[in-house]
Every structure is written in C-alpha cells, then in structure tokens.
Amino acid sequence: MIPSTFKITDSIIFYPYTKSYPADTNLACEISCGDCKLENKKISIMKIKTFFTIIIAVFFLATVDADCQVKINLKKRINREANRRANEKTDKGVRKSFDEMEKGIKGLFKKGDTTAGQQGQAGNQAAAGQGQAAANRAGAQGAASPEEALTLNWSKYDFVPGDKIIFEDNLIGEKNGEFPSRWDLYEGVIEIAQFGGENIIMFRGGDPHIVPYLKNPDKDYLPEVFTIEFDLYVNNNNDFTVEFVDRKNQKFPGDYASLNIDATSMSLSPASSILPNQESIINEWAHISIAYTSGKMKAYINETRLINIPHLQFEPTGIGLNAYHGSDYYQFFIKNFRIAEGGVKYYDRFLQDGKIVSNGIRFDVGKATLRPESMGVINEIYTMLSEHPDVNVSIEGHTDSDGDNDLNQKLSEDRAETVMNQLISMSISANRLSSKGFGESKPVNTNATPEGKAENRRV
C-alpha cells in the first residue's frame, strides 16, 4: 500500500498534500564488403584484408592533407574490422558494410573543413531531408491497412532514465572546430561543429571513436543499473556503434558485443529489429535510449523499443562511441549525451525506498516546453497516480544557478505548471494536483559541474 506521503525528484518534485494534517505531520518527504556475395561461399580473411587495404589506402591518400595530424594504423584497423565483421552474425549480413564501403569511396575524396558556409549548406540539405523523411513516413503509414500499421508513439514510451548522473555533456561553452573537452580520443578525427544553431559532436573521419573523459577510466564505471541517452543525426544508412567497454583504458573482453544503430534498425547480438511502418531517421535527429538492469538490456530509437535482451552475455564496463564510416560525406552527429545510475520503474523504486528520485523530465533550453523523451517519466507517474487515486501531489520546479534569479524562479514555476497540465490532459483530476517553483534556491548538488547542474535542473 502506498503511503499518502511520498516525493518525486526529477526536474520536478512531487509532494503529497491534503486539506489538513496534524501539526506534527512531516510533509517534507522528497520524491525528490566488395562485389562478392557471402552466401554459401568461403572468403578468406586474407582476401578481406586485401580489399580493406585498397579501400583504406585510398581513404588515407584522400584525407592526409586535411587531417595530417592523425596517425592511422592501417594494420590494426584492418585486423580489427575484419575480425569484427567475420564474427557478427546478424540479419544485416555481416554489418551490410563491404558493399557500403565501396559505394562510399567517392565521398571520402571530399576534403573537409568545418567552416560556417559548409555547415550552413549541410543544414539546408538536412532541412530538405527532414521534410522528405517525414513525407516518406506519412506515405508508408497511409498506405498500410489499420491491421498492418502499428501505432507506436511517445504515449507508450516506457523508458525511465537513471537519477544519479555519472557523465553529462550538453556541449555548452564548446568551441567550433575543437575536440570536445569532456571526451577522450581513441582514434580518428572528432570535432565540435555548429549544426542547426547548436553545438554538436561530429565524427569526421579516420574510423572516429571517442570515450568519456573520466577519473579512473580503467575501472568499471558502469553500475548494476544504468541508462544512456543521446541524440543522433545521420544522413546515411551505415552503422553508428555504442560499445560497452572503454577500448582506450580498459581490457577488451572476449565475450563482447556492441549496439549497432542505423537509420532503420538496431542490432545487439543475438537481437535485432527494424523500425515499424518503413520508418527511417535519415536526416533528422533521433533520441537514443539504453537501459541496463542487472543483465537485462533494452534499447530504443525515439519512442520505439527495438532491443530487449533478458540475459546479456557480457558485463558492460565502460562506453565507447564509434562511426566507422564517419566523414564529411557520411555524417554522424551527436548531442545531449548522458549516463546515469538507476532507471528502475517508479512504483518498484517506491516500494523499495519509500520515495522516488528521477531526473528525466526534460525541457527545451530556457523554456517550459516539454521534450518528447520526458514522456517515459510522465507516463510512469500517470500510471502510478491512476492506480492509487487516493494520492495527491504537488509538482515543484527547480533550476540550476545559471542565469538571472528572477528568470529562474519564473522558469521553474512555468515548468512545474507544464507538467501538471500534461497530467491533467491525461485525465488526472486537477483537484489532485498543484504546482510551484523554487528557482535555484534548493540545489541537491553542486552547480560547479555539468553533472551537478543536471541534477539541480529537476521537476
């Protein structure tokens, strides 16, 4: 039975209230490969290596003048990729890559720079692509019968992010053309660029691969329960890879697999799945969510869960991000990256701890506009309130210390009210809800680090 007094901390805090309580009642409880076919044929690793030698040698000659500061270890890269492609047996057919690499050679001859003019051109192309992608999705859905078309939207999103921030990078203060300061380079060329008026991390070439820049990165820094979130932009159908080991600092395990994401699907051996209704995320931002709970792993593209593995065959120890085909032609951008501890559903957490602490309600920067990924948290709160109609809540907004005090106060009030109105729109009675804001006056962590600020921005 849920006690009538509990609290949720997110970017909003929920406090129960009633019309009257005894004077001594404590209400401050916080919820605070090439032309060859792989079918029925044997292809020697030596032939594969020869093919890769030709391809990568051409790549090196094409880009050496643009990125001469990068030392490319061809032998290491050939061996690693040949082994990786030979070992991965998913329905993608050896990662779809041998043919894709040959098709992409002409793109590798483009000499890249991160000038504002080129980025502006990329932005215009992206805008056109976004419209086409939306039209494609609408056409695919319109052609399908009601029985064939699956209705999957953010209202069914069940991802709940962790509440203790381990690593956060919102790219604020980063300089265009520089290496992202909160990351470490394993290989390739990675730079900060401007895209759509925002700072993004661009995977530019040389098999680009980064790992978080942390203290003691050689140690296992992923807890038993954790979540990972970031926004991904691609203009092609090649893989973006999330590795669950820090290749630069940690010993590479034998029993290991990586999460591969392309414009229409995800794969993590032994699981793979495609987006419904012929959807594609080419030329648009997509929110990637990953949840690991004591051996279980789930992964989502936007609101759609594509990976659900009950018993993972390896233990994640660190994180690496890799875009093997990344270049100025094949674009891979990320932003809003976060690793957090926790992620257990609210009701289970409440039963265990008597309170709920979350950090997953997100808003546009400086605004009270809810971001779609916030619906995982809000849906969970809605379910709990629906199942326990005797519980009333007060929704409180909080900000970090950046900016003007008065503006932060108003922003916190508006954000709390936004969440309250969202719950009301989902049929929770307005009589059970109230909202208030506290601005930056009640921090739960330091405002000196990105992780601390992320925890202080809560509702």
Rounded to 5 degrees, what angle do the CA atoms 92, 97, 100 make?
Answer: 120
346 part of a folded domain: no
443 part of a folded domain: yes
Give this prediction's pTM: 0.60
Largest Cα–Cα separation, the chain: 81
Q: Are 226 and 359 in contact (CB under 8 A)?
A: no
Please check the confidence at residue 219 and state whether its pLDDT lies above 80: yes
Please check the confidence at residue 98 and state whether its pLDDT lies above 80: no
**Looking at 76, 105, 134, which one is the last position of a domain?**
105
Query: Are residue 327 and residue 436 in the same domain, yes or no?
Result: no
328 part of a folded domain: yes
Look up residue 176 and give its DSSP letter.
T
Please check the confidence at residue 228 and state whether its pLDDT lies above 90: yes
Identity of the residue numbered 110: K
Query: Are residue 317 and residue 393 in the same domain, yes or no?
Result: no
Query: Are residue 146 and residue 221 in the same domain, yes or no?
Result: yes
Query: Are residue 337 and residue 403 in the same domain, yes or no?
Result: no
111 part of a folded domain: no
- The total number of structural domains in the chain stands at 3
What mean pLDDT is predicted for residues 303-321?
Answer: 94
What mean pLDDT is predicted for residues 291-311?
Answer: 94
Supply 16's token pair. Answer: 């129960």
Burial 284-313 (b: 16+ CB within 10 A, else e): bbbbbbbbbeeeebbbbbbbbbbbebeebe
Q: Are 393 and 14 in contact (CB under 8 A)?
A: yes
Rg (alpha carbons) of the chain, rounded to whole number? 24
Q: Show the domain range for 384.
A: 8-32+355-456
347 part of a folded domain: no
CATH (domain of 359) = 3.30.1330.60
Supply 407's token pair. Answer: 């503006």
Query: Are residue 311 and residue 376 in the same domain, yes or no?
Result: no
Tell me how far apart the alpha carbons of residues 181 and 191 are, in angstroms, rounded to a whole number.
Answer: 10
**Looking at 105, 133, 150, which one is the last position of a domain?**
105
Tell me how far apart the alpha carbons of residues 233 and 194 are, in angstroms, rounded to a whole number.
Answer: 13
User: Which tens digit of pLDDT belongs to each residue from 234-291?
Assistant: 999 999 999 999 999 998 877 778 999 999 999 999 999 999 999 999 999 999 999 9
What per-residue confidence (pLDDT) applies to 350? 64
Beta strands in 278-400 (DSSP E): 285-293, 296-301, 304-309, 320-322, 332-341, 356-357, 393-397
What mean pLDDT is predicted for residues 380-390?
Answer: 83
Please check the confidence at residue 361 and state whether its pLDDT lies above 50: yes
**What's the CA dihedral at 7, 13, 19, 25 to 10 degrees?**
40
SS3 assignment, position 366: coil
Query: Are residue 374 and residue 336 in the same domain, yes or no?
Result: no
What mean pLDDT is predicted for residues 435-450?
Answer: 82
Query: Are residue 328 and residue 293 in the same domain, yes or no?
Result: yes
